Amino acid sequence: MTMKIRYFAWVRERLGKTDEEIELPPGIATVADLMAWLAKRGEEYAHAFENPRVIRAAIDRSHVKPDARIDAAKEIAFFPPMTGG
Amino acid sequence: MMAVTIRLQREDFDAASEAAALTRGRTDIGAVVSFIGICRGDEAGEPIAALTLEHYPEMAEAEIRRHVEEAQRRWRLLGVTVIHRYGRLTPGDNIVLVVTAASHRPDAFAAAEFLMDYLKTRAPFWKQVERPDGKSWVDAKANDDAAAERWSAAGARAGRRGA
């Protein structure tokens, strides 16, 4: 399964990329699983995802919790807590 | 009739003309509340040179729309305009505009405050500040979370207005 992942703010800066297409291995069921898997992809990923509790996620442009299932997702985004307004 | 305008833009806005646009040609509106968020010259007690707002465009628009719809469910509103800027802003620049229109002021005041509290914590925007010694991302504030949270409690208690 291929999905688009987008990164914002310091998550994007630490990874040095705004988005990527990822071929997901079997066994990755939730947002938390995906973060744990991403964290093992290299030094910059380990840095970006070193504290997954502070990272927020959205599936198809809606906020989700870490236990949200990702099987039907087209686009997943990771970002720090929001500071707009 | 409920007029809703949501814009994400790099350019500045004119609060007075946005408010006037909501009421033009109407006699059912008796209250308009405008909130303007402005870039301060300091963040966490330290002076800043500029602020850059990054956003997730498609989600920001959808998320703001969801909250405007929620505001419509909670209060009797006749119009809402939300404009949020992105890009590099300097102290004194406008950042965000929320205008709410209603027949009576309690609905307009409450909806404007609700929308701002949610924009701060739920709309996908991130502020990065520029200081003489470099750039840094603004940390989310606990009191902003608390401000947004109280509406969940209030919503559960009050339910839909008039219900």
Question: For chain A, what is the domain count?
Answer: 1
Would residue A84 count as lying in a domain? no
Provide the domain limits for residue A8. Answer: 2-79
Q: Which domains does chain B have, with CATH numbers?
A: 3-158 (3.90.1170.40)
Would residue A49 count as lying in a domain? yes
Given B60, B63, B137, which is nearest A9 (Cβ)?
B137
Structure tokens given for B65: 């729309």
Compute the distance between CA of residue B22 and CA of residue B138 in angstroms, rounded to an integer. Answer: 33
Average pLDDT value for residue range B120-139? 94
Compute the distance between CA of residue B127 and CA of residue B89 in angstroms, rounded to an integer. Answer: 10
Quick: pLDDT tens for A60-70.
Answer: 999 999 999 99
pLDDT at B154 exceeding the cut of 90: no
Picking from B59, B97, B120, B121 by the largest number of A CB atoms within 10 A of its own CB, the best residue to mutate is B59
Compute the distance between CA of residue B81 and CA of residue B94 in angstroms, rounded to an integer. Answer: 15
pTM of the model: 0.91
* A/B interface, count of CB pairs below 8 Å: 76
pLDDT interval class at B155 (50, 70, 90): low
Task: Give me the residues of chain A with pLDDT under 50, please.
Answer: none
